[in-house]
Structure 1
């Protein structure tokens, strides 16, 4: 489709197949025009054009974010529904007809689908606005991919007046038709670290005359792996991963320095100070043992995404109403160790977050952040129904359930 935004033919506002088709077309347009964290200018423009075409008032929030409210004057429970909109710095390798038109940028996590599902929800709720039991606010949020977009949205008043908030993420490791939405933590907290090891380089044939940062980096890597196995209780899920070591030099040259980087994941926020302190202490002591100095930087990112019990129950009921009573996928342990900045919202107001399965056996098994990943469009009608149910809107006939095709 051309960049006309989300459109429905006149008189087709209640036509469910037309809504589903429009949602998929909108998703493909967003996929073709991805934008990185805090650069979502055209994405936010097309979202705002679409809201205006639907007759839904909105305001700009956190720069490239957008907040729209329906049934604003109602005194009923004020529900928030959220979608993230940013893409990733990845070269797409799907070969799809709607593949990214921007080199080095791709919707590799499904935020295009999240935004499209919220827009089709907006269209459905607008037509049934008079039937809504309370206000509904739609949050099109930028900068989820490490940019703390939710925090900026909150600071700009996005959740002011909300009684609760709901969100979701597609998940290729879960079969289509299944989901998880636990009480408590559903996704882990995270952080990153950077280490610089400074030694003294020299000739590879004379290591005794050097202070080898490469050897020190190897020792630090091995030692950091003991944090989880020996210093954190096994009941608390946590991960420390060294993800890169850089020490470029010639084959016969021991370099002066080496750089390391890595990732932290944790389910229990109380473990964060311990893990961060151990990374610093272990790195410095290991480096000293090899005659090398170490500079350690640790960067907290997101806390765990922790569902509130009552709201998680509401979301589970909405999921079960559409996916059936056997919707729960018990084979995936929660919290999963990926992270989400939806955690910011849940620290401020009650709410819940769900992971909804994407793998239908037709190529939607590729993991998020893969260059071969593509969002499963069959999730669009399901999530639109779940969101509409959470908002208290009338629903289309149940008979089309999992067989809805964009």
Structure 2
């Protein structure tokens, strides 16, 4: 951080809303240029902690590269937690932006740089109004959301101690800018992955009768697994089973000894997980046996569904409506979406809510998360800062500029 930037943050009491927002955009783009993979977010954590120090906000390291910061810790009211994720993805950036990643093979392709910048601008605004907060506020800058179970590690390291409620959000390019979703119940699905190793007996391609062909068995297993949702799970239950890779490297005239399948599971109802896991094992084993091949099935549960609590979801909807207006709800997105979030860990521990806030403003922010062409919409930063400030009970600026989105 530049010396003048640190000095500006130290003058947080004097920073106007527009200054806070300009700084948020600058910080977001700084993070975007320096992405780090899950559990490797050392420099990202250092940048976050340096700004918290400049603001005079108390913090502690949590789960290694995570950071937990507190404001108004002695205030008598409800203790609210606000969360951002900080990790990036192993993707080569192709957005063409002048603030593109400087790290080959690593990119903020899911907007966690924007989530972190929004929480930092919230920190700046709350610090400037700390004496007006009705209760304590904990800010969670969480590592390793992208498959690393960072939320679980944060909880194990005491990140939720003393909290009464927690709130989070994710930018969503499939939703129009100015719209959002925050339902009671499930907003995002649970997920899991599986690997199936098919062990046969290879041989010459001209004599398949003398082999036990794992490639043929892999094809049969793939086709059968794709029928789970169509024929074994009721259509009313949102679920997905996708075989995403088949590996059986060999020569053109050689039937290999083994083949490997891998895939993804998505569930909206947690009670479907065990049933689907069992069906994958049973179907793979039976199909393989029909071809004289042995199947070894490994299933890896990842995240549970992100399920909002009704009271807190209603509170978050009110905060969103106060900013986006009465027509803010996006009704063209079937819920829950089948992507997953480790914010689910927090919602299993205490009341809270999670929202998806639209990013597509017709100005190039339609690229989906995890695309190499993705770009976070900086116009979301003031919106989310105001939503978070409302949830924390902080006053908001009353000038018209601050209300523009």
When the two structures are superposed, what TM-score results if normalisation uses the length of structure 1?
0.97
The alpha carbon displacement at 1:90 in A equals 0.5
Superposition pairs for residues 4-403 of structure 1, below 5 Å? 8=8, 10=11, 13-397=14-398, 399-400=400-401, 403=404
3-state secondary structure, aligned to 2:43 = helix
The alpha carbon displacement at 1:253 in A equals 1.4
3-state secondary structure, aligned to 1:116 = helix
Distance in 1 (alpha carbons) for counterparts of 2:222 and 2:134: 55
Distance in 1 (alpha carbons) for counterparts of 2:269 and 2:403: 36
The Cα offsets for residues 98-151 of structure 1, whole Å up to 9 and x where unpaired, read as: 111111110000000000000000000000000000000000000100111001
Distance in 1 (alpha carbons) for counterparts of 2:94 and 2:292: 45
- Call closer, same or farther: CA 1:208–1:2 in 2, change over 3 Å: farther
Distance in 2 (alpha carbons) for counterparts of 1:3 and 1:101: 23
Q: CA RMSD in A?
A: 1.5
Distance in 2 (alpha carbons) for counterparts of 1:178 and 1:206: 61
Distance in 2 (alpha carbons) for counterparts of 1:372 and 1:68: 33
The alpha carbon displacement at 1:397 in A equals 2.4
- Call closer, same or farther: CA 1:209–1:177 in 2, change over 3 Å: same
Distance in 1 (alpha carbons) for counterparts of 2:21 and 2:38: 27
How many residues are treated as equivalent by the alignment? 404
- Structure 1 unmatched runs, 5+: none
3-state secondary structure, aligned to 1:287 = helix
Distance in 1 (alpha carbons) for counterparts of 2:364 and 2:375: 8
Distance in 2 (alpha carbons) for counterparts of 1:232 and 1:277: 12
The alpha carbon displacement at 1:398 in A equals 5.9
Given that 1:322 and 1:386 are in contact with CA atoms closer than 8 Å, whether structure 2 keeps it comes out as yes
Given that 1:81 and 1:387 are in contact with CA atoms closer than 8 Å, whether structure 2 keeps it comes out as yes
- Call closer, same or farther: CA 1:5–1:352 in 2, change over 3 Å: farther
The alpha carbon displacement at 1:2 in A equals 5.9
3-state secondary structure, aligned to 2:23 = helix
The alpha carbon displacement at 1:12 in A equals 7.3
Given that 1:13 and 1:123 are in contact with CA atoms closer than 8 Å, whether structure 2 keeps it comes out as no
Distance in 2 (alpha carbons) for counterparts of 1:263 and 1:206: 34
- Structure 2 unmatched runs, 5+: none
The alpha carbon displacement at 1:67 in A equals 0.3
When the two structures are superposed, what TM-score results if normalisation uses the length of structure 2?
0.97
3-state secondary structure, aligned to 2:8 = coil
Q: Which moved more, 1:248-257 or 1:11-20?
A: 11-20
Given that 2:12 and 2:55 are in contact with CA atoms closer than 8 Å, whether structure 1 keeps it comes out as no
The alpha carbon displacement at 1:3 in A equals 9.8
Distance in 2 (alpha carbons) for counterparts of 1:233 and 1:388: 42
- Call closer, same or farther: CA 1:279–1:322 in 2, change over 3 Å: same
The alpha carbon displacement at 1:400 in A equals 3.3
Given that 1:12 and 1:18 are in contact with CA atoms closer than 8 Å, whether structure 2 keeps it comes out as no
Distance in 1 (alpha carbons) for counterparts of 2:352 and 2:4: 33
The alpha carbon displacement at 1:14 in A equals 3.8
Distance in 2 (alpha carbons) for counterparts of 1:166 and 1:3: 33
Distance in 2 (alpha carbons) for counterparts of 1:362 and 1:318: 26
Distance in 2 (alpha carbons) for counterparts of 1:259 and 1:221: 11
Given that 2:17 and 2:402 are in contact with CA atoms closer than 8 Å, whether structure 1 keeps it comes out as no
Distance in 2 (alpha carbons) for counterparts of 1:145 and 1:90: 12
Distance in 1 (alpha carbons) for counterparts of 2:188 and 2:392: 24
The Cα offsets for residues 376-399 of structure 1, whole Å up to 9 and x where unpaired, read as: 000001000000010000101263
The Cα offsets for residues 336-383 of structure 1, whole Å up to 9 and x where unpaired, read as: 000000000000000000000000001100000000001100000100
